[in-house]
A = this chain, B = another copy of it.
Amino acid sequence: MSDGTLAVPGRPTLEEVARVAGVSRATVSRVINGSPRVSPEVLSVVEKAIAQLNYVPNRAARSLVARATMSIALVVPEDAHRFFGDPYFADVVQGISDRIDDSDYVLNLQLTHPSSPSEKTRRYLLGGNVDGAIVVSHHSGDHFLASLGQSLPVVFGGRPFGEVSSKTDYYVDVDNRLGAVQATEHLITHGRRAIATITGPTDMPAAIDREQGWRDAVRAAGLSEERLVHGDFTEAGGVRSALTLLDEHPDVDAIFVASDLMASGVMLALEERGLRVPQDVAIVGFDNSRYATRGPIGLTTIAQPSQQMGVVMADTLLRLLSGEHPERVNLLETHLVIRDSA
């Protein structure tokens, strides 16, 4: 073992199975792939040999000739803490996972750096390890992922950056702008006038669109657009942003917060400042994740069907891979869920 080899018994090959079963390799291959052109006797002999040797086909060899790996990548350009911290991802992954489980493909999650995927990831994705990819949480500046669709069937979770016209862009999303409008109008309807927003990261389309929705609604009502603080879609960031907001605009009477997770932080900050929700400051979040019902005050929020979005992403990719022509863009519905905070 000091020669660097491993203590793993050599995997049996198809050839060995053939030898044990006393047939040709082609026949074994037929058995493995469930071909009907095999006689019952031979079938059973081969199956016995397979079981006896504990044989599992080598996928590298198979995919080399089949030109397909039967696996798809889920690319997440976030560090583990943000990825795990936000229930939105859990829902999306569960949805994708559910849909993939019903197929012949295996899902293969690739965590990469937020800034830009490493060379390793690049080679992995482009090196024929996967037949397609789903990219969630795309940031601007990530040129590689943005153009990945040119080399591989790709579906984005959320509208990707850049020209949507691109022939290779498939994505599923909600109308983030509209959702933000729904949230803000609810606030306006209930008499709020000094309406602020805490946005997501400015390099993410979803965050930009939600900010735009808030601007549109606020402007349409003749209100000020100046109460704005940029956040980062984390709970701790929500606390910080709220504190900044309160310092700069002590008069706010409502906040549209671009994610529930951040809203949860905002509530903490408000409590710390002795402000009551919704009496002093009304809050509307976005996601309808479990954070919306976790604290003492139920969070009014914009619901998006995260898990269903995951299902649709996977479904779109699967259909692409089977040569179908799915919708390029799939926009699911948001709706307002009213609880206590606004």
Docked complex: A79-95 residues within 8 A CB-CB of B: 79-81, 83-85, 87, 89-91, 93-94
Nearest-Cβ distance from residue A111 to partner chain B, whole angstroms: 6
A24 within 8 A of B: no
Tell me the nearest residue of chain B to A307, going by C-beta: B80
Docked complex: A118-176 residues within 8 A CB-CB of B: 118, 120-124, 126-129, 150-153, 167-168
Question: Residue A80 contacts which of B57, B94, B104, B126 (CB distance < 8 angstroms)?
Answer: B94
A328: B residues at CB distance < 8 A: none
Q: A84-B84, A90-B80, A118-B101 are in contact. Are A56 and B123 (CB under 8 A)?
A: yes
- A-side residues, CB < 8 A to B, are 1-9, 11, 54, 56-61, 63-64, 69, 71, 79-81, 83-85, 87, 89-91, 93-94, 97, 101, 104, 106-111, 118, 120-124, 126-129, 150-153, 167-168, 320-323, 325
Q: A9-B151, A64-B61, A79-B94 are in contact. Are A1 and B84 (CB under 8 A)?
A: no
Contact in complex: A59, B124 (CB < 8 Å)? yes
A79: B residues at CB distance < 8 A: 94
A85: B residues at CB distance < 8 A: 87, 90
Extra contacts besides A54-B151, A83-B90, A106-B124 (5): CB < 8 Å: A56-B126, A80-B90, A80-B91, A81-B90, A109-B110
Contact in complex: A106, B121 (CB < 8 Å)? yes
